[in-house]
């Protein structure tokens, strides 16, 4: 452990001194570490990405409030993320230089998947996210801070994409004409969900907004859903954002940055399974929400493709990348998924009705 990490771990109320701390997981946003204390107790330590989340105090207020609320509704100690306070009793610490850190109890005897190994795994993730939304139905949404403005405003994501395209700071737009054309050809659909919300036809709820399969923990033995993690983007939103983002990531037949696009499809079977689980765990969804499931899946996938391409055009500042062009490969899988959903549209409607 280097000396600056040692200084960080000394700020938290861990059960015993931390003896090791190493990078952990496959998140794209925060700096995540696994910290182990001399008793063997494990913790997750995270450096919060401040360029993505400039108002850390507001972000941590959200997480403290939501986890405290969920704790009252669950019996299982692994049923909700547990924040470890700092030695000063705060939810996070700001180090000299400005970096902000927080810590959680490690969810033990649990697994976190990049793709479902069985259909039941995906069904369990649907229960986890559906249940999360259901449990927060009576949370006072107006008290939550908007941690990222216009996070799932697809129209605004297009606006930012156009800006990146016009500036083209890395001279990359010439080599991605096909992807640009695909995205522009669908711009007129970007407001489909927001329009319905504005007309009062879709309700605003407390949503997670980042419902990737790797933001759910399953029990390692029973493989039943335990809890939802990565609560940075919990905000008022549409249920379709949560539904759609889960399909985008978990119903895909290949990894998010798969280079061989012939392997990338949206599995209709997994779509169907997720739909059943989500509805079962969140029975209060309206007919309109249910009817818009296919559009939620498509728009969240398209939006993600737009975001990956924007980041590629801007020089890969937002998402963590591990090799050149990773954002471009990520974008291509998303666009392939959108095309596949368009082909399977009628069947998706049948699954959702
Ligand atoms: P990011 O915002 O960068 O995606 P996450 O909060 O999702 O960060 O954490 C990244 C990964 O770390 C998760 O996908 C999961 O594998 C692991 N992780 C995060 N929190 C916990 C926890 N409390 N217990 C066990 N694993 C965790
Ligand atoms: C990011 O934090 P992580 O890796 O769970 C991103 C999501 C994207 C996703 C694409 C705060 O999720 O919005 O859909 O990458 N999170 C943020 O994999 O931007
Ligand atoms: Mg995550």
In a shared domain, residues 131 and 38:
no
In a shared domain, residues 155 and 283:
yes
In a shared domain, residues 187 and 286:
yes
- Flag whether 264 is in a domain: yes
In a shared domain, residues 211 and 237:
yes
Q: Match 């004409």 to its residue by tokens.
A: 177
3-state DSSP percent of the chain in helix, strand and coil, to 5: 45, 15, 40
In a shared domain, residues 128 and 277:
yes
Q: Which of the listed residues 107, 140, 157 is the one where a domain comes to its end?
A: 107
CATH number at residue 80: 3.30.200.20
In a shared domain, residues 101 and 245:
no
Q: Which ligand is nearest to the CA of 152?
A: 2
Q: With a cut of 50, list the residues of the chain below it in pLDDT.
A: none
- Flag whether 190 is in a domain: yes
Cα(201) to ligand 3 centroid in Å equals: 30
- Alpha helices, DSSP H only, in the chain? 3-9, 56-71, 119-135, 154-167, 177-184, 192-198, 239-250, 268-281, 287-291, 293-314, 326-343, 345-352
In a shared domain, residues 316 and 246:
yes
In a shared domain, residues 58 and 159:
no
Q: Match 């861990």 to its residue by tokens.
A: 14
Query: Which domain does 49 fall in, by range?
Result: 3-107
- Flag whether 113 is in a domain: no
Structure confidence at residue 284 (pLDDT): 92
Ligand 1 atom 8 nearest Cα: 27
Q: Which of the listed residues 107, 128, 160 is the one where a domain comes to its end?
A: 107
In a shared domain, residues 167 and 214:
yes
- Flag whether 114 is in a domain: no
In a shared domain, residues 175 and 219:
yes
Compute φ and ψ for 281, nearest 5 degrees.
Answer: -80, -20
According to DSSP, the residues that pair with 34 across neighbouring strands are 22, 44
Structure confidence at residue 353 (pLDDT): 81
Which tens digit of pLDDT belongs to each residue from 276-318? 999 999 999 999 999 999 999 999 999 999 999 999 999 999 9
Cα(38) to ligand 2 centroid in Å equals: 33
- Flag whether 112 is in a domain: no
In a shared domain, residues 75 and 207:
no
Which tens digit of pLDDT belongs to each residue from 112-123? 999 999 999 999
Structure confidence at residue 51 (pLDDT): 94
36 with 18: CB under 8 angstroms? yes
Q: Which ligand is nearest to the CA of 229?
A: 1
In a shared domain, residues 83 and 202:
no
Could you give the CA distance from residue 156 to residue 41 in angstroms, rounded to a whole number? 43
Q: Which ligand is nearest to the CA of 23?
A: 1
Q: Which of the listed residues 87, 107, 127 is the one where a domain comes to its end?
A: 107
Cβ < 6 Å from ligand 1: which residues? Answer: 24-30, 32, 44, 81, 104, 106-107, 112, 214-215, 229-230, 232
Could you give the CA distance from residue 242 to residue 335 in angstroms, rounded to a whole number? 19
Number of independent structural domains in the chain = 2
The pTM (predicted TM-score) of the whole model is 0.95
Cβ < 6 Å from ligand 2: which residues? Answer: 27-29, 52, 210, 212, 215, 230, 232-233, 256, 304
CATH number at residue 325: 3.90.1200.10
């Amino acid at each position: 452990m280097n000396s600056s990490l040692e200084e960080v771990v000394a700020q938290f109320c861990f059960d015993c001194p931390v003896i090791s701390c190493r990078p952990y997981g496959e998140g794209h946003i925060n700096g995540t570490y696994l910290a182990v204390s001399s008793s063997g107790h494990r913790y997750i330590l995270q450096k919060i990405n401040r360029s993505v989340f400039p108002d850390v105090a507001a972000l941590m207020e959200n997480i403290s409030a939501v986890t405290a609320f969920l704790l009252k509704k669950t019996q299982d100690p692994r049923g909700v993320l547990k924040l470890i306070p700092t030695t000063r009793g705060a939810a996070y610490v700001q180090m000299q230089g400005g970096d902000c850190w927080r810590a959680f109890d490690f969810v033990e005897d649990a697994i976190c998947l990049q793709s479902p190994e069985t259909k039941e795994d995906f069904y369990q993730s649907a229960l986890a996210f559906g249940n999360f939304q259901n449990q927060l139905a009576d949370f006072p949404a107006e008290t939550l801070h908007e941690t990222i403005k216009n996070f799932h405003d697809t129209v605004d994501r297009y606006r930012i994409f156009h800006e990146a395209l016009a500036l083209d700071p890395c001279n990359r737009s010439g080599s991605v004409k096909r992807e640009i054309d695909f995205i522009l050809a669908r711009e007129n659909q970007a407001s489909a969900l927001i329009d319905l919300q504005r007309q009062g036809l879709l309700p605003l709820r407390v949503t997670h907004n980042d419902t990737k399969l790797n933001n759910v923990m399953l029990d390692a033995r029973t493989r039943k859903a335990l809890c939802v993690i990565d609560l940075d983007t919990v905000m008022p939103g549409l249920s379709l954002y949560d539904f759609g983002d889960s399909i985008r990531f978990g119903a895909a037949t290949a990894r998010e940055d798969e280079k061989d696009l012939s392997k990338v499809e949206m599995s209709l079977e997994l779509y169907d399974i997720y739909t059943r689980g989500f509805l079962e765990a969140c029975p209060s969804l309206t007919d309109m929400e249910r009817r818009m499931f296919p559009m939620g899946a498509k728009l969240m996938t398209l939006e993600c493709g737009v975001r990956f391409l924007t980041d590629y055009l801007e020089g890969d500042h937002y998402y963590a990348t591990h090799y050149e062009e990773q954002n471009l490969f990520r974008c291509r899988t998303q666009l392939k998924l959108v095309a596949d959903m368009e082909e399977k549209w009628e069947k998706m409607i049948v699954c959702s009705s």
